[in-house]
Chains A and B, each alone.
Chain A
């Protein structure tokens, strides 16, 4: 193995036959290489150099997992269908060195929906030719692998704006305590929660009761996966989506106010995805800020991918 492995959140991973390569998306430079099977790895390791197709594939895989879409930080969401198309083409380019011999079919199966956004982009003065080229590559790949692509249908009108706010503070509420906590990326799937905004909590007195209100800013174009939160001993599900946030509330015993500050921590998580037990990660804030900044730079980078350029429009 060469060099220490970067943290999973900043790792662009390539699962090659007999070896895995780990690029650090924050630092660039050559990948850390972990060889598991000398003979298989020797077949292709010699051809890996700085700007190889292998790195492109690994980077796109990183974007699919960790792209920090955020309204507050100005990082638009990537279109998952476009990204899947780019992943399929990048997979095919280096299929000879991948660990999974069905990698191309798998990637293609995930990309069939891309024909629609690609068709919609075809008329774009700036991205049209790149979109047409990607569409052609995808079609040829699908043809080679016997996978049927659907006929493109005209783009559906863009999603309407956010619904009006519901719930939230009511007249007569008295705010007793409030605070905010960062959301741990590892506890929610990509593209769910705004990657740069904190979740906020408020304890209010309402009609003689203490109520905990939680609000989590959503990522742009967020998926609808159910979220929940834990605050000290209190568990609540977050079910109301409005105004770019998902919110929830739960009655709490007044004793919640007596919790030591260290326990007045809000943990947001997706129950089907992770459990809210995460080890302390003192580097997380700096690392995530750096990843958000990197993603923002990518949007205007000369080698930005079509998906990134499309998101930046």
Chain B
């Protein structure tokens, strides 16, 4: 493989440029590589993209094809990060070893440690040069696995079931919902269609920012107030949206549709995403959120719901172009893939609604994902919206496959 050209119009696959630059880093980064010698998916997602290449700031390094003019920059960025990545890899090996010694089995080591190891690499350099590397690693493991500075379900339940507080929280819920927004469907914002047209290939950050600035998400939620509309989107089983209950119990298997969930159920379902540790703030914010358009707090999230609604229309058989056509093609392909994988063609009862109403399953999962991002205080960048919109459908599809498989396994027992 050779990566060199002087023609300015020529582009090279980003993966190829990265693979070559990565290969030059050699064995030192093996712990961050897969057996094919490529950076692991998580290495790209957690280290290369956010910390080294930063495609949000450097969009010319983001796409699947890199112009030759930028190839050297991409290679140089990886080469320059080489020592830090080698040190990161060494710290990762050390942290994994410490984890094993301490008998820790929680969580995904790559997810939990990669970025922390990158910090260690910057702070201390390579662990081989750090005399007390072992105790640094032990300290890191202790810090990462410290019994949560995070809200637990038990704390949450204790908080909402306190009788005195319950009255107050219920009143807060009533007040939040008393200030109801007006119903009414506005004509779709032309910017929504415009953004979706190139969202997968050349997302326009300026257009996304202007959709957020002119509250296209909030305006697009007016529709939900009309009877049956939110139910048609699969977000509720009720004909009209109603204020949620405060709630004090939840079951993972029996969660209602997102907008029918009690305040407690919403937080229960997303408890791993809650980064705050103070139940008071978390619950009050959630109460407030339930009364907002799309029942989401951030305008960017609401805009993404509007984008998702538009893009998923093709899943329900409507005409689709751009992003919508891409989603529809993924879903259309799934029927063939299931035949190849010899998945059941008979769909069990509990799955039928999701398979035949895939758009509803899609919008539910999109809502849950955006809700989680809000709880994590994670921003939404225009360049990653296609991976959100497409990733939600993939996740719906993989979930259906898992459920089809386990139904089959149950039957075989």
Q: Which residues of A contact B (CB under 8 A)?
A: 5, 8, 11, 13, 15, 18, 20, 22, 34, 36-47, 53, 61, 65-66, 92-102, 105-106, 143-146, 148, 185-186, 189-190, 223-226, 270-275
Contact = CB atoms under 8 A, between A and B. Distances in A.
Interface stretch (B151-159, B179-187, B329-337): B329-337
Interface stretch (B38-46, B209-217, B269-277, B359-367): B38-46
Contact of B411 (A8, A102, A225): A225
A39 B408 contact: no
A51 B307 CA distance: 41
B15 A42 contact: yes
Given A101-B45, A146-B106, 13 more contacts: A42-B15, A43-B64, A44-B13, A47-B36, A92-B34, A95-B40, A96-B40, A97-B15, A145-B108, A225-B408, A270-B411, A272-B346, A273-B344
18 contacts: A5-B336, A8-B339, A13-B337, A22-B340, A34-B333, A37-B200, A46-B1, A46-B16, A53-B36, A61-B341, A65-B341, A94-B36, A100-B398, A143-B109, A144-B110, A190-B342, A273-B345, A274-B344
A40 B201 CA distance: 10
Interface in B78-127: 96, 100, 105-110, 112
Interface in B229-246: none
A40 B398 contact: no
B19 interface: yes
B403 interface: no
B326 interface: yes
A36 B36 contact: no
Contacts of B35: 53, 92-93
B36 to A, nearest CB: 6
Contacts of A98: 41
A142 B106 CA distance: 12
Contacts of B38: 96-97
Tell me whether chain A's interface is mostly helix, strand or loop, or mixed. mixed
Contacts of B252: none
Contact of A8 (B64, B330, B336): B336
B19 to A, nearest CB: 7
B13 A274 contact: no
A18 B394 CA distance: 12
Contacts of B178: none
Interface string B336-356: 110111101110100000000
Contacts of B96: 143-144
A195 B221 CA distance: 54
B39 A96 contact: yes
B344 A39 contact: no
B247 to A, nearest CB: 30
A36 B411 contact: no
A95 B337 contact: no
Contacts of A144: 96, 109-110
Given A8-B336, A100-B398, A189 B39 contact: no
Given A96-B40, A144-B109, A275-B346, A189 B412 contact: yes
B107 A146 contact: yes
Contacts of B348: 272
B385 interface: no
A47 B19 contact: yes
Contacts of A95: 34, 40-41
B378 to A, nearest CB: 17
B109 A36 contact: no
Interface in B393-413: 394, 398, 402, 407-408, 411-413
A8 B34 contact: no
Given A8-B339, A272-B411, A36 B16 contact: no
B411 A13 contact: no
Given A189-B342, A273-B408, A146 B105 contact: yes
